[in-house]
Structure 1
Amino acid sequence: MKYLTRTVWILSFISLLTDVASEMLYPIMPIYLKSIGFSVLLIGILEGVAEATAGLSKGYFGKLSDYSGKRVPFVQLGYALSAFSKPIMAAFVYPAWIFLARTIDRLGKGIRTGARDALLSDEATPATKGRVFGFHRSMDTLGAVTGPALALLYLYFHPGQYRALFLVAFVPGLLAIGISFYLRDRKTGPKEKKAPVAFFSFLHYWKDSPVIYRKLVAGLLLFTLCNSSDVFLLLRVKQAGLNDTATIGVYIFYNLVYALSAFPLGILADRLGLKKIFALGLLLFALVYAGMTITAGLYWYGFLFFLYGLYAAATEGISKAWISNITDKTDTATAIGTYTGFQSICTMLASFVTGWIWFRLGAGIAFSVTATIAAIVLLYFLLVVPKPLTGDAKGISD
C-alpha cells in the first residue's frame, strides 16, 4: 500500500486523536451547557455562531493556503486552536467565554480543513484518491467511536464531573499537536498574485472554477440542504422509546460501521468509479430516512444506523476525492474550502428547516421530505453530473 505515505499516516493519526478529544465531549455537551445555565435557545445560538464561523473561514483559509503555497502551518494552527479550546470551556463558565472557546474550536476546523485535504490530495494520484481519502476518513471516524466510549467509561466512574472531562479531552488534543510537527510541506513556490487575499475572495472561485466543479458542488449543496444534523436521528430513536444507553450505543455503532467501511469503499470507488459509490451512498441515505418514518425497536434502528454508516463512508471522503480530481492542483484547498464552507451554512439551514417541519407536522413528515429530496438529488447526480477522472494506475478513465 505505497499510496499510504508518511504524510497520509501522520494526518490520519492527527485526525484520529483530535476526533477522540471532540467526540469525548459530544454526548455530554448539551448536558454540561445546561448545568452552567445555558438555555436550549442559547445552545442553539452558540452552535449556529460556531458553525457559521467554521463555514466562512474554510473558504478563506483554503484560498490563503493556495495563495501562499503552504499547507502545514494551517494544519498545525488549526488543530492547535481546537485542542486549546477544550480546557478554556472547562476553566470559564461565563457565556461570553463559552462562546469564545466554541468559536475558537470551529475556527480551528476552518483553518485546517482545506490545507489538510490538499495535503492528502497531493499524496495521491487520480487512481488512488478514493482510497487515500477513505483511509483518512476511517481513521478520523475511529476517533468518533473511541471518544464517546471513553466518555461513557469516565462518567461511569466519575458521574457528573463534566468539567474534568474537558481537561481529559485536552490530552489527545496535545498529542495531535505534537504529531503535527512531523509534517513537511512540499517544496513548491507560492502562486503569483499581486493583491492580498480578502476574506470573501474565495467566493470568486465559483465563477472561475471549471463547469464540472459547479455542477458537482451544486448537487452536493442541494443534498446538504436536506441533510440535517444527526441529532434528529438520535432524537427519533429516543422518541421511539430507547433509553440513553441504547441511544448512545447506536451512535457509537454507526461510527464504528463508518470507520470500518470508509477505507474499503474508497478502494472500491477507485476501481468502479467515484460517481457510482457516491450514488450508492445517496441511495442508502434516502432508504435510512424513509425507514426512520417507521416506529420500531432497537434492532430496526440498529439496522438503519448500519446503513447510515455505509452511506457516510460512501460519500464524505469520496466527495472530496472527486473535487480534487476535477480541479487544478494549485486550487485544491480553495476548491475544497469553498465547498465545505458553503456546506456548513447549508447544514445549518437544513437543521433549522427539519426542526421546523418536525415541530409543525411531526417527525414522520420531516423524514419523508428528506428522503424524497435525497432521491431527487440522486437523479441529478445520475443524469447531470459527469463522471470524474479515475481509473487504475495507468490512468484509464472511468
Structure 2
Amino acid sequence: MKLLQPLPRNVWILGFVSLLTDISSEMIHSVLPLFLVTTLGTSLPIVGIIEGVAESTASILKIFSGALSDYWGRRKELAIAGYGLSTVVKPLFAIATSPVWVLLARFADRVGKGIRVAPRDALVADTTDVRYRGAAYGLRQSLDTIGAFLGPLSATGLMALSGQNFRLVFWVAVVPGILAVSLLTVGVREPSQPKQLRGNPLQWHNLKSLGRNYWLLVGVALLFNLGNSSDAFLLLRSQQVGIAISIVPLSLVVMNLTYSLSAYPIGVLSDRIGRLGLLASGFFLYALVYLGFAFANTSWQIWVLFALYGLHLGMSKGVLLAVVADHVPVRLRGTAFGLVNLVTGAALLPASLMAGVLWQWVNPQATFVVGSLFAIAVSILLVLTYSRQKKWNG
C-alpha cells in the first residue's frame, strides 16, 4: 500500500495550523482538570458540567458556521475568526480565580472551535481529489495530533521545572496559538466554489437532500457520543490508579502518539478497502478500552489503555469525516459537517454530567462501564444498518 499521496497545499497548511493550535490547547487541557480540583477546589460533577457546557454550547455554532460557509461560498475567513477567538481568550485561564472564570474561558475557546471546525473540514474536501480523501483527513488528523501530544509533553516539562505552576503553563500556551492564526491567514488559499448555494442551507429541502445514509450516520455518531464523556475523567482515573500528578499529562502524550501514527495510514487504507469496517472496528475498540479503564489497577495498564485509545481515535475520527464528505452534495458540505458536530457535541453535556454523577455517587468504574456499553451498541447498530445497503461504499 502506497502511503505517500499527492495531497494539496491547503491540506498541509491546515494540518500545521491544527498542530500549533493543539499544542496551545492541549498544554491547557492536559492540566486543567487537576487545576480545577487541586487549586480551585472544584467538585467532580462541576468538572463534568464545565467540560460538557463548553463543548455542547460551542457545538451549536458549528452548524451555523458550516451553513454560512456554504451560503457565502467562502470558508477561510470563518476559520480565521474561530482560531483567532480561541487564541485571544487563552489568557483567561492564567488569571482564573474561580471555576466560573474557567467556564467562561472554556466556553469562549470552544465557541472559537465551533466557528472554525465545519468550514475547515469542508475546505479539506473542497481541495482534495476524491481518490485521496481518506488520506487527506488522515494527514490533517495526524498533524493535529502531533500537536496534541507535544502540548501535554510541554506542559509536563513546564510543570516539573516550575514547581507545579499551572498558571505559567497557561501563559506559555498563548504563543503557539498566535503562530497558528498567522500561518492560516498567510498560507491557506480559498478554492473556487463550483456552485454557490442559493437560499438557506438549513431549509428542509436542503437538509433532506443530504440523504438517508448521512442521517443514519448522524444517528450513530450521536448515540456513540452519549457514552463518550470528557477525557478529563481519563486523567482523573490515571491519578486514582497511581500515576503522579506531575506526569499525568504524559498519558495524553501516549494517546496522541498512537493517534498521530495511525490516523494517516488508516486514512490511506480507507481509500483502498472502504471505511465502514474501519469505523465500526474503531467504535468496538473504544468499548474494550473503556472496560479496561473500569478495571485497571496498575499504572502500566493505564499506559497501555491510553495507547489503545489513541488507536481508536485513528480508526474513527478522520474516517468519519471522509464518510461524510463522500456522501453529501458539494454545495452542502459545510452544513453536513456542522450538523455532525452539532449532534455529537450536544451529546457531550449529558455524557460528561452522567460520567461525573456516576463517578461520585456510584463509583469510577461505573463511568467507564456505561460508556463501553454505548460503544458496543453503536458498533452493532452500525454494522446491522449499513451491511444491508449495497450502495454504501464509503
Tell me the TM-score normalized by structure 1: 0.89
Query: Residues 111 and 30 (structure 1 numbering): CA distance in 2 closer, same or farther, change over 3 Å?
Result: same
Equivalents in 2 of 1:345, 1:126: separation in Å? 30
Equivalents in 1 of 2:97, 2:203: separation in Å? 36
Q: 1:1-398, aligned counterparts within 5 Å?
A: 1-33=4-36, 37=40, 39-40=42-43, 43-91=47-95, 93=97, 98-181=102-185, 182-188=187-193, 191-194=196-199, 201=202, 206-245=207-246, 247-385=248-386
Partner of 1:394: none
Give the partner amino acid of 1:261: S
Q: Please, which moves more after superposition, 3-12 or 37-46? A: 37-46
Query: Residues 260 and 202 (structure 1 numbering): CA distance in 2 closer, same or farther, change over 3 Å?
Result: farther
1:281 positional shift = 0.6
1:101 positional shift = 3.3
SS at structure 2 position matched to 1:228 = coil
Equivalents in 2 of 1:83, 1:89: separation in Å? 11
Can you list the C-alpha shifts for 1:137-191, whole angstroms capped at 9, x where unaligned? Answer: 1110111110111111122222243333322111111111110122111123773
1:39 positional shift = 3.4
CA RMSD of aligned residues (A): 2.6
Contact (CA 8 Å) 2:156, 2:250: kept in 1 or not? no
Contact (CA 8 Å) 2:52, 2:353: kept in 1 or not? no
Equivalents in 2 of 1:250, 1:94: separation in Å? 26
Equivalents in 2 of 1:138, 1:312: separation in Å? 10
1:97 positional shift = 5.5
Equivalents in 2 of 1:352, 1:203: separation in Å? 32
1:289 positional shift = 1.8
SS at structure 1 position matched to 2:383 = helix
Give the partner amino acid of 2:80: Q
Q: Please, which moves more after superposition, 14-23 or 338-347? A: 338-347
Equivalents in 1 of 2:166, 2:299: separation in Å? 28
Equivalents in 1 of 2:143, 2:75: separation in Å? 20
Equivalents in 2 of 1:238, 1:96: separation in Å? 24
Equivalents in 2 of 1:42, 1:369: separation in Å? 20
Can you list the C-alpha shifts for 1:124-144, whole angstroms capped at 9, x where unaligned? Answer: 233222111111111101111
SS at structure 1 position matched to 2:193 = coil
Query: Residues 44 and 373 (structure 1 numbering): CA distance in 2 closer, same or farther, change over 3 Å?
Result: closer
SS at structure 1 position matched to 2:189 = coil
Q: Please, which moves more after superposition, 334-343 or 241-250? A: 241-250
Query: Residues 247 and 38 (structure 1 numbering): CA distance in 2 closer, same or farther, change over 3 Å?
Result: closer
1:231 positional shift = 2.4
Equivalents in 2 of 1:48, 1:375: separation in Å? 22
Q: Please, which moves more after superposition, 4-13 or 365-374? A: 365-374
Aligned residues, how many? 388
Can you list the C-alpha shifts for 1:208-254, whole angstroms capped at 9, x where unaligned? Answer: 53111111111111111111222223333332233324533322211
Q: Please, which moves more after superposition, 360-369 or 52-61? A: 360-369
Equivalents in 2 of 1:161, 1:49: separation in Å? 26
Query: Residues 42 and 203 (structure 1 numbering): CA distance in 2 closer, same or farther, change over 3 Å?
Result: farther
Equivalents in 2 of 1:265, 1:72: separation in Å? 27
Query: Residues 160 and 110 (structure 1 numbering): CA distance in 2 closer, same or farther, change over 3 Å?
Result: same
Give the partner amino acid of 1:316: K
Query: Residues 248 and 102 (structure 1 numbering): CA distance in 2 closer, same or farther, change over 3 Å?
Result: closer
Give the partner amino acid of 1:256: L
Query: Residues 39 and 174 (structure 1 numbering): CA distance in 2 closer, same or farther, change over 3 Å?
Result: same
Contact (CA 8 Å) 1:36, 1:93: kept in 2 or not? no
Contact (CA 8 Å) 1:202, 1:338: kept in 2 or not? no
Q: Please, which moves more after superposition, 357-366 or 173-182? A: 357-366
Give the partner amino acid of 2:283: L
Identity, in percent, stands at: 36
Q: Please, which moves more after superposition, 28-37 or 4-13? A: 28-37
1:257 positional shift = 0.7
Q: Please, which moves more after superposition, 37-46 or 137-146? A: 37-46
Contact (CA 8 Å) 2:296, 2:302: kept in 1 or not? no
Contact (CA 8 Å) 2:156, 2:249: kept in 1 or not? no
Unaligned runs of 5+ in 1: 391-396
Contact (CA 8 Å) 1:205, 1:335: kept in 2 or not? no
Contact (CA 8 Å) 1:322, 1:388: kept in 2 or not? no
